[in-house]
Structure 1
Amino acid sequence: MRLRRLASELRRLRQAAGLSQEDVAEKTKVNIVTLYRIETAQAKPQLRTLIALLDIYGVTGDTHADLLSLQKEAKQRGWLNDLEANLLGQYSAYIGLESEARQAINYESLFVPGLLQTEDYARAVIRGVRPTAPDDENENRVTARMQRQLLLEGDKPLRLWAILDQAALCREVGSDAVMRDQLTHLIQQAQRPHITVQIIPFSAGAHPGMPGSFIVLKFGPDDPDVIHIDSMAGDLFLEKETDIRRYNQMCEHLRAIALSPADTVALLTSLHRDH
């Protein structure tokens, strides 16, 4: 995502300067194919190339420093480096995208959303869906899931809108005690200002989310959304405009038929009493 942001900003700056790619190639001696690859996030610009581009676009001050930082950090993966060798590449890719997002809309039909799971619930879920995987691989996934939840902390936390089918809360995962703690955690998280939780009750009947779960990741105003779908066939990343529009429309529909955030907390409290 850092590379995509850098590419988008360089494209915008060139257009604002009234220059074509051919003009820039002539002025900087940067190959036009290389310039095209840089502006479409297919290649990371070398530092001297980036400086040359910023010079002809007249970029100075904080913007200049910010773009140099983006170039430097374009391949950084943070805490994921220690775990990446033990995680599937697609899951690693998702974690990288999620860490750059400003907002996530997560619909789940069978699980509590990963960013809202307790460690015991996460461990029980991961072991349950990966019964033949070695224990160390499953523990790496638990660790990764707990690390991801740090996105919900800090001065500028990820804004999370979680929508889940009531069925996800009626399936006992781990044990009665695990579910009780998980429901307590959900109630607490649902009352934080940057987290919204809605439950689609059984009384809603059939609804568009029944075919499966998905996550919509939202970035800056100049970056398109990314749709992530986790399935038995592997992870899918959708970035076409038609797919983005379709899934955002589905989010609006699911929000409309789900319980309000206040009624959701009331239902969670009732389910907690049952445990």
Structure 2
Amino acid sequence: MAGRRSGLFTRRRTAPTARLRRLAREMRRLRSEAGLTREDVTARTSVNEATLYRLETAKGRPQRRTLMALLETYGVGDTKREAILALSTQAGEQGWLRPYHADLPDEYVGYISFEAEARSVRNYESSFIPGLLQTEDYARAVIRGVLPTVTTKEVDQRVQARIERQVVLAKTDPLELWAIVDEAALRRTVGGTKVLVEQLTHLLKVAAEPHVMLQVIPFGAGAHPGMPGSFVRMDFPDSEDPPLVYIDSMAGDLFLEADEDIRRYNQIFDHLRASALSPDDSAGLIAALVREIT
């Protein structure tokens, strides 16, 4: 459960970060190069298999003494050892984390973490306006509609988190966002006519920014590869951090990083942008919808 950690891990809530993923990948590689199984490592150190699994799957950041014991077992030299210890320290740097985030689901906190570190995001949405482009009133209406059993406090926390996320588009070196939205998401009257008009007007404003690309797949495009559901693909500034695909579904949230998954979703996104209207034509469609509604 969030907040409860083994004594071999830091006690602060550990959300996944790009650096934590890199640390996990490096520790898996070092163990493999040493020719050791997890059972072998447990037999040679005080680190149990459950703890090792958490480290190697980016489920937690180990304490320094745990990491030192593993690096010694793997025969890692001083220079490499210092680099990994530094990486572990950096993996715990989460300036975006707020006190109330402890009440948010782990998957959502993880998503916020990755998004805050990303260099670029490609987001396809079939039913919603992308979270980074939502107005506060639209976000509140969406959350209440999708999660009818949550409390008012939980709604407020999620809305606040969603609005705070949008700072990535306003910083000095902003996130590059390429969003593709199905026309159905634009026409769904979330929160009522007034809220929808404000949301569409906000879309037109944000889409004019040079670091934001917005395309709409019109109803006339017919069937397309995005109809099964939405997804997000993230790229990170450091070449050592591989791309990540995020899928939010009724069955739960998934983070995919296997090469074949990345290639598959790259292909899907390429098909979607080919099916979508150009950015200018997309803006024209949104403006026409505003006139139609009002």
TM range (shorter): 0.7 to 0.9
Matches within 5 A, 1:95-134: 95-134=112-151
Alpha-carbon separation, structure 2, partners of 1:103 and 1:128: 29
Query: In 2, Cα distance between the equivalents of 1:10 and 1:132?
Result: 41
1:56 corresponds to which residue?
79
Structure 1 Cα separation of the partners of residues 254 and 282 of structure 2: 30
Q: Residues 103-252 of structure 1: matches in 2 within 5 Å? A: 103-219=120-236, 220-252=238-270
Residues of 2 paired with 1:54 and 1:117: CA distance?
Answer: 49
After TM superposition, the score normalised by the length of structure 1 is: 0.80
Shift of 1:73: 3.1
Per-residue CA deviation, residues 107-145 of structure 1 (Å, 9 max, x unaligned), is 000100000000010001111111121111111100010
1:273 maps to 2:291: yes
Supply the distance in 2 between the matched residues of 1:260 and 1:196 (Cα, whole angstroms): 10
Question: Partner letter of residue 122 of structure 2?
Answer: I
The 2-side partners of 1:142 and 1:224 are apart by 29
Cα pair distance change 1:32/1:225, threshold 3 Å: farther
TM-score with structure 2 length normalisation? Answer: 0.75
Instruction: Tell me the percent identity.
Output: 51
Which stretch shows the higher mean deviation, 251-260 or 36-45? 36-45
Alignment map for 1:13-24 (pairs within 5 Å): none
Residue 183 of structure 1 and its aligned partner are, at CA, apart by: 0.8
The CA deviation at 1:242 is 1.3
Does structure 2 conserve the Cα–Cα contact (< 8 Å) formed by 1:21 and 1:32?
no
Superposed CA RMSD: 3.0
Please state how far the C-alpha of 1:271 moved relative to its aligned partner.
1.0
Superposition deviation, residue 152 in structure 1: 0.9
One-letter code aligned to 2:90: E
Structure 1 position 177, deviation (Å) = 1.2
Which blocks of at least 5 consecutive residues in structure 1 are unaligned? 15-19, 23-30
Counterpart Cα distance in 1 of 2:89 and 2:24:
13
In 2, Cα distance between equivalents of 1:151 and 1:186:
16
User: 1:208/1:38 Cα in 2 relative to 1: closer, same or farther (>3 Å)?
Assistant: closer
Partner of 1:17: none
Counterpart code for 1:230: D
Q: CA deviation at 1:92?
A: 1.1
